[in-house]
């Protein structure tokens, strides 16, 4: 789970970049231009949605239509109306992520089953190197239901290089090690900065929570009641009126919920301090060498992971393929698909070896689209992943990747988000990978999610990623946000296209998605730009927001010709 920052003011407004609760808020009444139809420069005026969204509207906004709803969704209903009556084939969607609760009420019908494997017999019946891989494979290993904490890649690299270079100065370094030593110094500086920030944030949220807890106890004692209103607090003597408690309640929130929200920040930064930046944590549950791609097999068939500690993968899966129109939960994007799982992402940074082998595993077991809602800043074995990306391309498989949640321009040399299909940030090694930024439900200057990475060369298109309602373990549902949520929206559209138009290649599907999106003609706030505005067209290759209706219509025209 990647979280940017919890914003804590006197009003205690908390915002988690990839894991947050959502409330209805007012939309803007501004008007802006968008280009229609896709691929042209003709512009019309579209008003942003006015007033508050209902709970139902908020849960379904990613599927809305900009023209009829004034919300920058994906026009999914129009897509299905267009596809009505057309022949469809089942497409396997591979998801590389944390554990996925394939027993969830809204996912169980989509779970892929390896019919060549006999469950629970401890044998590799299909001779593919993976024993009892009934629903996929768990590259993280560990016992059934066990979580998978792990260090970040920067921590692993720092530990590795520090053992060799700690305490040495440049004049003590052999000529052949100069470049590696320079990399060590860069990693050391980055690691120490990150650890220091994590410690400060961890202590900050602990102190804020403690302060609110104590204030709440004092208020309860003074009022002689467990729950109280703003009016109750205002009746207290002035020296007993706590402004923070009053602000919490006057904002429509309550103390208990605020403490819970702050606890999420404590848990997040606590995990960083105690695990992700902890040099002494081993983390990995397998007995393989992560620096040896040939050290296999390892892992097991437990793809669910911990239903108490891992929600990311389940949320991602629901966005793409939760059962449609079953009267429960929510509707996924794709309607005729099977889910094969590669549990690849720990609570920390994924290992390159796991990513490379997961891609190959999913490809070999029939996935035609693979969603990858993960990323990291360092990739010591990126060549293994590049080879896997090329392998997927050779098998005509489309890879959909989240751009990342650091509010950074990925075109700049100092910012990376691995895996990538353009090692030099210019030339793509294949044409089967599409990178997704995140947008909001606000069709105005706030269109781009403040946490989203961007790049006119290295982010292909944007999709709904803020305030996304989807499945989480134990038959529950929750609002989360991040480019991790935007990516499966696009993966779902890709599955939809490949299901109804199987003649189209992975490359064709990629470019259909990019070229058919809603082209936006307005200035938006630059993520991380402190209010600076830039043309939306400068933030991605396409300058568009995905549009399922335009995509399937374009696909139909490519296959059947214009009507």
For 98, the 3-state DSSP assignment is coil
Q: What is the Cα–Cα distance from 479 to 483, expressed in whole angstroms?
A: 13
CA–CA dist 524, 397 (Å, integer): 33
Asked if the structure places residue 450 within a domain, the reply is yes
Does one domain contain both 143 and 164?
Answer: no
4 within some domain: no
DSSP assignment of 186-198 = HHHHHHHHHHHHH
Structure tokens at 300: 């097991």
User: What CA–CA distance (Å, rounded) separates 340 from 135?
Assistant: 6
CA distance 367 to 334: 14
Is the CB of residue 412 less than 8 Å from the CB of residue 372? Answer: no
Q: Structural domain of residue 231, as residue ranges?
A: 153-276
Its pTM stands at 0.90
Residues 360 and 391 in one domain: yes
Asked if residue 290 is part of any domain, the answer here is no
Nearest alpha-carbon partner for 254 in 280, 271, 276, 233: 233
Task: Report the b/e string of 108-119 with b at 16+ CB within 10 A.
Answer: eebbbebeebee
The 337-343 sheet, strands edge to edge = 43-47, 31-35, 518-521, 544-545, 461-464, 433-439, 398-402, 367-372, 91-97, 337-343, 136-138
* Of 232, 210, 211, residue with least CA distance to 222: 232
- Residue 139's contacts (CB-CB under 8 Å, 6 or more residues apart) are 286, 298, 299, 342, 343, 344, 354, 357, 358
Cα–Cα distance measured from residue 169 to residue 156, given in angstroms and rounded to the nearest whole number: 22
Say whether both 108 and 72 belong to one domain: yes
Same domain, 265 and 390: no
Residue 10 lies in a domain: no
Based on the fold, state whether residues 264 and 220 are members of the same structural domain: yes
Query: How many Å apart are CA 529 and CA 74, to the nearest integer?
Result: 26
DSSP state of 539: S
Q: Are residues 241 and 370 in the same domain?
A: no
Q: For position 124, which CATH number holds?
A: 3.40.50.200
- Render each residue's pLDDT in the chain as its tens digit; 563 residues: 333 333 333 333 333 333 333 322 223 333 333 333 444 333 445 666 767 899 999 999 999 999 999 899 999 999 999 999 999 999 999 999 999 999 999 999 999 999 999 999 999 999 999 999 999 999 999 999 999 999 999 999 999 999 999 999 999 999 999 999 999 999 999 999 999 999 999 999 999 999 999 999 999 999 999 999 999 999 999 999 999 999 999 988 899 999 999 998 999 999 999 999 999 988 888 999 999 999 999 999 999 999 999 999 999 999 999 999 999 999 999 999 999 999 999 999 999 999 999 999 999 999 999 999 999 999 999 999 999 999 999 999 999 999 999 999 999 999 999 999 999 999 999 999 999 999 999 999 999 999 999 999 999 999 999 999 999 999 999 999 999 999 999 999 999 999 999 999 999 999 999 999 999 999 999 999 999 999 999 999 999 999 999 999 999 999 998 76
Beta carbons within 10 angstroms of residue 58's beta carbon: 18
Q: Are residues 132 and 188 both part of a single domain?
A: no
73 alpha-carbon distance from chain centroid? 17
- 442 lies in the same domain as 545: yes
Using alpha carbons only, give the angle 323, 492, 71 rounded to the nearest 5 degrees: 95
Whether residues 163 and 119 fall in one domain: no
Q: How many domains does the chain have?
A: 2
Report yes or no: 153 and 160 within 8 Å, Cβ to Cβ: no
13 belongs to a structural domain: no
- Here the tokens at position 336 are 């005729």
């Amino acid at each position: 789970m990647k979280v940017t920052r919890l914003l804590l003011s006197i009003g205690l407004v908390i915002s988690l970049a990839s894991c947050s609760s959502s409330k209805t808020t007012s939309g803007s009444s501004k008007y802006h231009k968008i280009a229609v139809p896709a691929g042209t420069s003709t512009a019309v005026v579209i008003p942003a949605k006015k007033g508050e969204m209902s709970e139902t509207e908020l849960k379904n906004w990613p599927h809305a239509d900009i023209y009829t709803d004034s919300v920058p969704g994906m026009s999914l209903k129009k897509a299905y109306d267009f596809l009505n009556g057309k022949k469809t084939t089942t497409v396997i969607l591979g998801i590389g992520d944390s554990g996925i609760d394939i027993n969830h009420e809204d996912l169980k019908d989509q779970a892929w089953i390896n019919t060549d494997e006999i469950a629970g017999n401890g044998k590799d019946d299909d001779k593919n190197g993976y024993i009892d891989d009934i629903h996929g494979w768990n590259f993280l290993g560990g016992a059934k239901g066990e979580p998978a904490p792990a260090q970040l890649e920067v921590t692993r690299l720092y530990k590795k290089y520090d053992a060799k270079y700690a305490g040495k100065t440049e004049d003590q370094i052999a000529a052949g090690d100069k470049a590696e030593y320079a990399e060590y110094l860069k990693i050391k500086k980055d690691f120490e900065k990150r650890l220091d920030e994590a410690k400060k944030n961890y202590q900050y949220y602990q102190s804020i929570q403690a302060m609110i807890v104590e204030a709440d106890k004092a208020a309860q004692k003074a009022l002689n009641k467990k729950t109280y209103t703003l009016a109750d607090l205002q009746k207290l003597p002035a020296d007993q009126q706590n402004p923070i408690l009053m602000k919490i309640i006057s904002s429509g929130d309550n103390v208990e919920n605020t403490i819970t929200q702050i606890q999420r920040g404590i848990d997040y930064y606590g995990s960083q301090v105690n695990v992700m930046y902890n040099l002494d944590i081993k983390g990995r549950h397998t007995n393989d060498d992560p620096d040896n791609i040939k050290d296999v097999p390892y892992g097991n068939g437990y793809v669910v992971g911990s239903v108490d500690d891992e929600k990311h993968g389940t949320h991602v899966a629901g966005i793409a393929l939760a059962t449609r129109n079953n009267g429960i939960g929510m509707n996924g994007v794709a309607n005729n698909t099977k889910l094969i799982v590669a549990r690849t992402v720990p609570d920390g940074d994924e290992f390159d070896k796991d990513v490379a082998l997961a891609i190959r595993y999913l490809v070999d077991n029939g996935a035609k689209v693979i969603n990858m809602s993960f990323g990291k800043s360092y990739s010591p074995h990126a060549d293994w992943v590049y080879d896997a990306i090329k392998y997927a391309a050779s098998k005509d498989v489309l890879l959909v990747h989240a751009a990342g949640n650091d509010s950074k321009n990925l075109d700049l040399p100092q910012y990376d988000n691995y895996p990538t299909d353009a090692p030099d940030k210019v030339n793509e090694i294949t044409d089967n990978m599409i990178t997704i930024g995140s947008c909001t439900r606000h069709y105005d200057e706030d269109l781009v999610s403040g946490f989203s990475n961007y790049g006119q060369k290295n982010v292909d298109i944007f999709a709904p990623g803020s305030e996304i309602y989807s499945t989480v373990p134990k038959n529950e549902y929750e609002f989360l946000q991040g480019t991790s949520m935007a990516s499966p929206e696009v993966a779902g559209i890709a599955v939809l296209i490949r299901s109804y138009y199987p003649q189209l290649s992975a490359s064709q599907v990629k470019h259909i998605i990019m070229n058919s999106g809603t082209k936006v003609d307005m200035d938006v706030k630059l993520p991380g730009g402190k209010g600076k505005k830039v043309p939306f067209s400068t933030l991605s290759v396409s300058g568009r927001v995905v549009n399922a209706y335009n995509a399937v219509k374009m696909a139909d025209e490519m296959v059947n010709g214009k009507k």
